[in-house]
Amino acid sequence: MPNPTAAMLVIGDEILSGRTRDANMHHLAGQLTESGIDLREVRVVSDDPDAIVAAVKALSDAYDTVFTSGGIGPTHDDITADCIAAAFDDPIDIRADARALLQAHYDKQGTDLNAARLRMARIPDSATLIDNPVSVAPGFSIQNVHVMAGVPAVFQAMVASVLPTLTGGDPLISKTLRIERGEGDIAGPLGELANAYPALSMGSYPYQKDGKYGANIVMRGTDMAMLSEAMEKLAAAFPE
């Protein structure tokens, strides 16, 4: 059976403007690889309600699991929760369970749970909360979509909360061979090998350093024996 599939939706004008560098995709990809879930697509959309709703619907229909990051904070441009609710035609309002978490947190800090902070308790009716051990304000899961904060430390904590609840597959294994030949020389044998092993993913990544050039050939798959066999054939085709 093929591994389950996943997609990620990164939400925020600050990502598209270049003001903020997204670190969450890199973290999620590594975690999913270890869990045997194939990350197939990553989209980045602006803080535009129509764009967010359309992307959520498309990704939810196309993949087994969707992760979103960004837009669930206390400010006016944190519109993700409302957009997710709209995508699934689910009512949304301040939820008692989310409000209780925030109330206890801010009471402990001696800080007022004002209207802005209460925005973080707006959760779709049918969603379940995602634990946030870093800053308390929860994410949420609805159908196959997991809605998480954009702050990397919080995003990572929420991923750790969600992953154990998902069905994974076989972890993806990777092997690399450096070949000191141009890609033009490598392409033919590599293409033949890729056709012979359709279950494996093969990529060529050129390099040039200290007057030497060539390519790192990376093979990925879930079958170690098959991966080793293909790598041995590649090495035999390009002896040092």
pLDDT of residue 172: 83
pLDDT of residue 2: 83
* Orientation angle between helical segments 24-35 and 152-162, nearest 10 degrees: 20
Helix (H) or strand (E) holding 176: strand 173-179
153-187 pLDDT per residue, tens: 999 999 999 999 998 888 888 899 999 988 888 99
* Contact criterion met (CB below 8 Å) for 139 and 81: no
Q: Which of 27, 144, 20 is nearest to 70 (CA)?
A: 20
pLDDT of residue 170: 85
Which residues partner with 129 through β-bridges?
A: 140
Q: Which residues does 233 contact at the CB level (< 8 Å), separation at least 6?
A: 193
Structure tokens given for 217: 């050939």
pLDDT of residue 74: 94
User: Over the chain, what is the mean pLDDT?
Assistant: 94
210 pLDDT exceeds 80? no
pTM: 0.84
What CATH superfamily classification does 173-237 receive?
A: Ribosomal protein S10 (3.30.70.600)
Give the residue-averaged pLDDT of 10-22: 93
User: For 5-165, which CATH class?
Assistant: alpha beta
By DSSP bridging, strand 65-69 and strand 5-11 are parallel
63-100 pLDDT per residue, tens: 999 999 999 999 998 999 999 999 999 999 999 999 99
Each domain of the chain, given as residue ranges in start order, spans 5-165, 173-237
Please state, in angstroms and as integers, the Cα–Cα distance from residue 133 to each residue in 26, 101, 115, 128, following that order. Answer: 21, 11, 22, 16
